[in-house]
Homo-oligomer: A and B are copies of this chain.
């Protein structure tokens, strides 16, 4: 029996509370290590790092690494170092992304580049990458290094692809899936896979956790894409329309454009490729997305990846860590109401 159908029966909790509780003691060590890794005699580095560290992100990725190691009974401190490295890879990506996207705000706060400039953001991102690799080396697992260095190249490749494809409505569904697999899901997959690696749990466990992370990451990104247009219920949260205003071609847009008539396609071209993306245009975009069922279809795609993530993690031995990892899937998919 798949857990998907049981979610409504209260068997799983659509919440990150279980993983928060499970990883709390180790996350304190991760946070201490992150502060040490961000240390430097060059004042600008801890200043910018502190800005990022205090930004209130959920730190889901390092929690995945911790829970994935705990799921295989790991005792040691390698998972703490790998978790901190994973968070640093992610933070470095955010710093560089904000420069590339010319973003002014992230999670409601001014971005580092708005406060300290693009130059500092590029270089401090490079420093965090270097520190991430340094810390991974300390763990001494060549396999974990292979997984994470691979992820770091794949993420950058995905970002370059997205840059090349930016504002192009010729981007296909398959292209888009490949991009988010690279730029989002690859790090989730690596974060989850290094857990069994450091625990020495063997290739089957590694494969299962890689699959889990990959599909969780895909679900996570697709849900973000839906939320950016206010969710499939049409409720308007914060930051709605960011992707639209940046001309980002996400799956909802690809689906609505593909299913649209000539007038609708002309609208999307104007909005995405020519920058006609004011609030009125955003309203029209949301109407067209609803008319073509594009948000519902994207949400269904996210649910499907959620199912695959659950199936993968169900193949590992039952444990509180497994329950926590399952609940993360529910939480990630159920953010859309």
Given the known inter-chain contacts A45-B157, A122-B96, A163-B44, please indicate yes or no for A130 contacting B142, CB distance below 8 A: no
Please determine whether B153 and A134 come into contact, CB atoms closer than 8 angstroms.
yes
Bound Cα distance A100, B116 (Å): 13
Nearest residue, chain B, Cβ from A124: B160
- A127 and B43 contacting across the interface, CB-CB below 8 Å: no
In chain A, positions 87-140 with a C-beta closer than 8 Å to chain B are 93, 96, 99-100, 118-120, 122-124, 126-127, 129-131, 133-134, 136-137, 140
Q: Give the number of copies in the complex.
A: 2
The size class of the interface chain A forms with chain B is 35 or more
Q: Which residues of B contact A284 (CB under 8 A)?
A: none
Per-residue CB contact flags for chain A residues 41-63 toward chain B (1 = under 8 Å, else 0) read 01111000000000000000000
Partner of A120, one of B119, B134, B163: B163
A264 to B95, CA, bound (A): 41
Segment of A143-151, A198-206, A315-323 engaged in the interface with chain B:
A143-151
A134 CA / B151 CA spacing, docked (Å)? 9
A123 touches B153 (CB 8 A): no
A164 to B129, CA, bound (A): 20
- Most central of A40, A93, A99, A123 by chain B CB within 10 Å: A123
Q: Is A154 an interface residue (CB 8 A)?
A: yes
A159 in contact (CB, < 8 A): yes
Contact A40–B127 (Cβ < 8 Å)? no
Interface assignment of A221: CB less than 8 Å from any CB of chain B: no
CB distance from A1 to the nearest CB of B (A): 40
Report how far A116 CA is from B157 CA in the complex, Å. Answer: 16
Interface SS majority for chain A = helix
The answer to whether the Cβ of A216 comes within 8 Å of any Cβ in the partner chain is no
Instruction: Provide the residues of chain B in CB contact with A129, threshold 8 Å.
Output: 126, 129, 152, 156
A204 to chain B, nearest CB (A): 23
The answer to whether A331 has its CB under 8 Å from any CB of chain B is no
User: What B residues does A142 contact at CB under 8 A?
Assistant: 137, 140, 142
Q: Is the CB of B42 within 8 A of A164?
A: yes
Binding site for B on A (CB under 8 A): 40, 42-45, 93, 96, 99-100, 118-120, 122-124, 126-127, 129-131, 133-134, 136-137, 140, 142, 145-146, 149-150, 152-157, 159-161, 163-164
29 A-B pairs with CB atoms under 8 Å apart are A42-B160, A42-B164, A44-B164, A99-B122, A100-B119, A100-B122, A100-B123, A118-B118, A119-B163, A120-B163, A122-B122, A123-B159, A124-B156, A126-B129, A126-B155, A126-B156, A126-B159, A127-B153, A129-B129, A130-B150, A130-B153, A130-B154, A130-B157, A131-B153, A134-B149, A136-B149, A140-B142, A142-B142, A145-B145
**With contacts A43-B164, A130-B150 known, what are 17 further pairs, Cβ within 8 A?**
A40-B157, A40-B160, A42-B157, A42-B161, A44-B163, A93-B126, A120-B160, A123-B156, A130-B152, A130-B153, A131-B153, A133-B149, A134-B150, A136-B149, A137-B142, A137-B146, A142-B142
